[in-house]
């Protein structure tokens, strides 16, 4: 097997919950050694995040796949000493605490750089490291609201809506991964480390930029439009007798094919519908006509989709999560796979999940299971020169999940 893309890179991962752990898990997918540093007894809060199976979190199994776990008490001087002994061995540090938290332990960027000059140090927060919001607590939904994304999501006559999944957390984690990878590329060429500042809010403002730009013209375009689009039509959710489908016929050629399929060739030249800007302007009239055609002409989704596919009109069903997992095409394409959970999760030893974020011909992602709390304590403490007797003493003070209970087994 070829060398993994990030093999030889060591990451100390202090992150919790979803956004920060996403970045660390992605680095582990591509071969980095990621050591998750968490408190004893309970571990980080993500270990209690539902859904729970046999007392363990499936979310933890996903967000911390492929990592090692070191359970130490940073409020104990000896615990802090263990972590500080690891610093010179690390290439990357990930953390997502409020600004100032890591400094209390002497683990902030400036302190770490003093002992590891070329460190790549990435911090992820809601509001960044500067400004009047810097000390405010925040979560994904706060970033969605303040980025403007919620203001353009939802029905036109309804309240602002958040995304159906944690958009800020997952994109923030992906952004953290991207920032660290860019910094590592610079480090490889120059030997220089750097500080990487990731903000959930900045991430969502970045992806909301196209809608922000829409408002630079004389008319406000970025407003709630339900399941349709302010500047393109047909482009949204439409109704069949037995359920909903999505159709996207914004381009002129595709629109003309749809006109022929609907038996409305005259719409190709109709000034109300001929160009995409005309259709967008008149979509409140056009959308009901398309919905009526779908329900009158076809017995249901299958017939409608078959006809639309034959006409070259982009279309699909609106899947729920169970339909995603059960679509064989996704497995054949290598987008979904079975991933092991953890020892002790006997009622669910594996679960279906997606594979790497992209296909790589030479260095593909490889998933390994998430760690039990403190599973690699002995391994890491031995590496740092601790004796068996000292390790036993420390593990009495820093309780973690017993491998005897769950059974041994490496990643």
pLDDT digits 0-9 by tens, 30-74:
999 999 999 999 999 999 999 999 999 999 999 999 999 999 999
**34 strand-pairing partners:** 11
Give the model's confidence band at 409: pLDDT under 50 very low, under 70 low, under 90 confident, else very high: very low
Residues 385, 353, single domain; the answer is yes
Together in a domain, 196 and 268: no
- Phi, psi (deg, nearest 5) at residue 284: -65, -20
Per the structure, the count of domains in the chain is: 2
Same domain, 275 and 388: no
Give the separation between CA 124 and CA 311, rounded to whole angstroms.
47
Of 272, 292, 317, the residue at which a domain comes to its end is 317
Q: Which of 54, 157, 169, 270 is catalytic?
A: 169
The confidence score (pLDDT) of residue 152 equals: 86
Residue 222 has pLDDT above 70, yes or no: no
- Domain end, chosen from 273, 291, 317, is at 317
Residue 383 belongs to some domain of the structure: yes
Q: What pLDDT is stored for residue 3 in this prediction?
A: 86
Query: Residue 141: its pLDDT value, please?
Result: 96
Q: Which residues does residue 123 pair with via DSSP β-bridges, in sequence order?
A: 95, 197
320 vs 2: CA distance, rounded Å: 37
For residue 146, the surrounding DSSP H or E stretch is helix 140-146
Contact status, residue 234 vs residue 273, Cβ threshold 8 Å: no
263 has pLDDT over 70: yes
Whether residues 241 and 385 share a domain: the answer is no
366 and 308 co-located in one domain: no
Non-local CB neighbours of 70 within 8 Å, separated by 6+ positions: 35, 36, 37, 38, 82, 374, 376, 377, 380
Same domain, 245 and 350: no
Q: Is 302 a catalytic residue?
A: no
Write phi, then psi, for 30 (nearest 5 degrees).
-100, 20
Q: Residue 259 sits in a domain of what CATH number?
A: 3.30.1540.10
User: Do 60 and 159 have their domain in common?
Assistant: yes
Query: Percentage of residues in the chain with pLDDT exceeding 90?
Result: 84
Residue 70 lies in a domain: yes
By C-alpha distance, which of 139, 138, 170, 168 is closest to 153?
Answer: 168
Q: Answer yes or no: do 67 and 188 share one domain.
A: yes
Distance of CA 69 to the CA centre of its chain: 21
In this structure, the number of other CB atoms found within 10 A of the CB of residue 401 comes to: 22
Predicted pLDDT of residue 395:
87
pLDDT of 215 reads 63
142 and 24 both lie in a single domain: yes
Question: What's the distance, CA 357 to chain centroid?
Answer: 10
How far, rounded to the nearest angstrom, does the alpha carbon of residue 16 sit from its chain's CA centroid?
Answer: 14
Residue 124 is predicted with a pLDDT of: 98
Q: Is residue 229 part of a domain?
A: no
Q: Please, what sign has the CA dihedral across residues 248, 251, 252, 254?
A: negative
What pLDDT score does 268 carry?
A: 97
3-state secondary structure of 329: helix
CA angle in degrees (0–180, nearest 5) for 49-53-56: 55
Q: Give pLDDT, residue 266.
A: 97
Q: Which domain does 283 fall in, by range?
A: 235-317
Whether 37 is in a domain gets the answer yes
Return the SS3 of 352. Answer: strand
| Nearest in space to 98 (alpha carbons), one of 138, 71, 131 | 138
Ordered DSSP codes for 72-84: --TTSHHHHHHHH
- CATH classification of the domain holding 18: 3.40.50.10540
- Is the same domain home to 370 and 249? no
Q: How far apart are CA 91 and CA 24, in angstroms?
A: 13
- Residue 227: inside a domain, yes or no? no
User: Does an H or E element contain 18, and which?
Assistant: none
Q: 285, 317, 349: which is the final residue of a domain?
A: 317
Please state the rounded mean pLDDT for residues 217-226.
69
Whether the predicted pLDDT of 82 surpasses 50: yes
Averaged pLDDT score across all residues of the chain: 93
Annotate 232-262 with b (16+ C-beta within 10 A) or e (fewer).
bbbbbebbbeeeebbbbbbeeebbbbbbebb
Omega prior to 234 cis, within 30 of 0: yes
Q: Which two tokens stand for residue 313?
A: 């009109």
Q: Are residues 287 and 143 in the same domain?
A: no
Tell me the β-bridge partners of 23. Answer: none
| CB neighbour list of residue 296: distance below 8 Å, 6 or more residues apart | none
Q: Is residue 226 part of a domain?
A: no
Residue 64 inside a domain? The answer is: yes
At residue 285, the pLDDT reads 96
Q: Cα–Cα distances in Å, from 304 out to 142, 233, 262, 291, 328?
A: 40, 18, 11, 11, 21
Q: How confident is the model at residue 385 (pLDDT cuts 50, 70, 90)?
A: very high
Q: Could you tell me if 202 and 147 lie in one domain?
A: yes
The whole-number pLDDT of residue 219 equals 63
Mean pLDDT, range 201-221, rounded to an integer: 76
The string over 19-50, giving b where at least 16 C-beta atoms fall within 10 Å of a residue's C-beta and e elsewhere, is bbbbbbbbbbbbbbbbbbbbbbeebbebbebe
Query: Cβ distance 66 to 368 under 8 Å?
Result: yes
Q: Note whether residue 219 is domain-resident.
A: no
């Amino acid at each position: 097997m070829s060398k993994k893309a990030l093999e030889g890179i060591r990451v100390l991962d202090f992150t919790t919950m979803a956004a920060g752990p996403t970045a660390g898990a992605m680095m582990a997918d591509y071969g980095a050694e990621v050591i998750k540093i968490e408190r004893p007894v309970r571990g980080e809060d993500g270990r209690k995040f539902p859904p729970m199976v046999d007392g363990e979190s499936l979310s933890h199994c996903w967000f911390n796949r492929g990592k090692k776990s070191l359970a130490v008490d940073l409020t104990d001087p000896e615990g802090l000493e263990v972590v500080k002994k690891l610093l010179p061995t690390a290439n990357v540090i990930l953390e997502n605490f409020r600004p100032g938290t890591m400094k209390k332990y002497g683990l902030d960027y400036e302190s770490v750089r003093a002992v590891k000059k070329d460190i790549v140090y990435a911090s992820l927060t809601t509001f960044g490291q500067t400004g009047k919001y810097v000390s405010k607590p925040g979560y994904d939904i706060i970033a969605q609201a303040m980025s403007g994304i919620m203001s353009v999501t939802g029905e036109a006559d309804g309240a602002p809506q958040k995304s159906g999944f944690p958009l800020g957390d997952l994109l923030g984690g992906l952004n953290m991964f991207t920032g660290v990878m860019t910094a590592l590329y610079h480090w490889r060429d120059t030997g220089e480390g750097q500080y990487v500042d990731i903000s959930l809010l900045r991430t969502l403002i970045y992806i909301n930029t196209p809608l922000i730009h829409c408002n630079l013209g004389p008319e406000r375009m970025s407003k709630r439009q339900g399941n349709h689009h302010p500047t393109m039509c047909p482009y949204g959710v439409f109704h069949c007798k037995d359920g909903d489908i999505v159709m996207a016929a914004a381009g002129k050629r595709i629109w003309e094919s749809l006109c022929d399929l609907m038996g409305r060739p005259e719409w190709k030249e109709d000034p109300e519908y001929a160009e995409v800007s005309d259709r967008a302007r008149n979509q409140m009239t056009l959308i009901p006509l398309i919905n009526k055609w779908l329900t009158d002409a076809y017995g249901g989704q299958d017939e409608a989709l078959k006809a639309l596919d034959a006409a070259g009109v982009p279309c699909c069903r609106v899947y729920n999560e169970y339909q995603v997992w059960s679509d064989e095409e996704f497995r054949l394409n290598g987008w979904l796979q079975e991933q092991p959970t953890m020892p002790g999760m006997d009622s669910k030893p594996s679960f279906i999940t997606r594979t790497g974020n992209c296909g790589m011909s030479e260095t593909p992602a490889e998933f390994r299971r998430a760690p039990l709390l403190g599973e690699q304590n002995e391994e890491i403490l031995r590496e740092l020169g601790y004796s068996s007797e000292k390790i036993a003493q420390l593990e009495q003070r820093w309780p973690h999940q017993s491998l005897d209970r769950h059974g041994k087994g490496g990643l």
